[in-house]
Structure 1
């Protein structure tokens, strides 16, 4: 799974990664070294591909009675995603790119848990395959936009750490295809594949990342 990630990006990285300029959220690009479920993260949706939108992490299906289910739906397994009641509409109609710079995962070994920070080897932005939804409260309140990160089997560098990892969209062609509203479902599902070995660079970090109250650059420092 992917239960924590970081969003520490700037204009220069965005311009280098994306060919067109993106409209930013009203609050800009605040750094979040410890993105946790139910917090707002940055996504680019198929309905607004020229905009960085701020959505709530943890998908809430349109039919849910309340927002509580979202905390349990931060990830969507790629296997069989097209048939799951909560995901079968979003994978067909509401896809997004989830933007960050790294994600965290905990390695369990000999009864101990060690957190790792995992980032692209070339230090590019992390672009994860996601799906999104909008939830309308019955009392007529504001619509809430939510998202999940799609996960799948690990590649070589992730396998010693965890048996799941985010599915990444590594280039412009993959990202454009993912956001294409006219793309056929088999083509979309074909994009959900484990990244090539060597794509990512993991290293151990401070266990403080396990506490959501900790949120600073020290969480990115290599543990020696």
Structure 2
């Protein structure tokens, strides 16, 4: 949806692939298990930076004017530009090697590793949380849509994936211009295999 992400390609190589400088994030370690709540490397219109994965919506309200309480890890593409809770958010992309999903009942779940032929570019929204003491925490949430035929057998949602040449449009385009990007990834371009070799409690 994605549930967790992984990046085993050096960020410098990701930057070269995307045609962007990686100043400030080149020392990012390789990570097999990136969970919500952890920092993750993102690309904004201003370049690569680190953000917390999960938007704490302090001060944000829903359509009824009630505070949004839950941390937003994934935002639905169908409503991301309509909900008042997302007013004023920025945009970024998260470039990784892939993500994980799970199937099955609790304590009997099977983990699945999902990859593509190239790095995967997740569309995302960003926000700034002013933490206690005035500390600024930049936050990011991935955007999701209906699953394609590859993902549908294991999950009812998937992240909105972008072609490399659509990154600039997502980062700077109007909501109307980027709306056509928020669709399921074409079928047949993802590989899914069981992930039985990951330490889910480790990094």
Question: 1:179 Cα shift?
Answer: 1.1
Q: Deviations over 1:4-25 (max 9, x none)?
A: 1112221563254222333232
Cα distance in structure 1, aligned partners of 2:193 and 2:138: 33
SS of the aligned residue for 2:124 comes to: strand
Q: Is the 8 A contact 2:33 2:198 kept in 1?
A: no
Greater share of strand: 2
Q: What is the count of residue pairs matched by the alignment?
A: 195
The verdict on how the C-alpha distance between 1:166 and 1:34 changes in structure 2, with shifts beyond 3 A counting, is: same
Residue 187 (structure 2) pairs with residue 193 (structure 1): no
194, 198, 201: which one aligns with 1:204: 194
The verdict on how the C-alpha distance between 1:24 and 1:205 changes in structure 2, with shifts beyond 3 A counting, is: same
Aligned to 1:96: 92
SS of the aligned residue for 1:163 comes to: coil
Cα distance in structure 1, aligned partners of 2:24 and 2:130: 24
34, 51, 58: which one aligns with 1:55: 51
Cα distance in structure 2, aligned partners of 1:132 and 1:19: 22
Aligned to 1:137: 131
Question: 1:36 Cα shift?
Answer: 0.7
RMSD (CA atoms): 2.3
Q: TM-score, normalised by structure 2?
A: 0.86
For residues 66-105 of structure 1, the aligned pairs below 5 Å read: 72-90=71-89, 94-105=90-101
SS of the aligned residue for 1:101 comes to: strand
Q: Deviations over 1:136-188 (max 9, x none)?
A: 1353x22000000111111111111111111111222x1110111xx221112
Question: 1:103 Cα shift?
Answer: 0.2
Cα distance in structure 2, aligned partners of 1:155 and 1:112: 25
109, 115, 121: which one aligns with 1:119: 115
Question: 1:113 Cα shift?
Answer: 2.1
Q: Which runs of 5+ in 1 are unaligned?
A: 216-224
The verdict on how the C-alpha distance between 1:31 and 1:99 changes in structure 2, with shifts beyond 3 A counting, is: same
Q: Which runs of 5+ in 2 are unaligned?
A: 61-67
Cα distance in structure 1, aligned partners of 2:32 and 2:197: 13
Question: 1:107 Cα shift?
Answer: 2.0
Aligned to 2:145: 152
Q: Give every structure 1 segment of 4 or more consecutive aligned residues whose post-TM-superposition deviation is greater than 4 Å.
A: none
Cα distance in structure 2, aligned partners of 1:208 and 1:177: 35
Aligned to 2:63: none
Question: 1:208 Cα shift?
Answer: 5.0
Aligned to 2:202: 214
Cα distance in structure 1, aligned partners of 2:39 and 2:193: 26
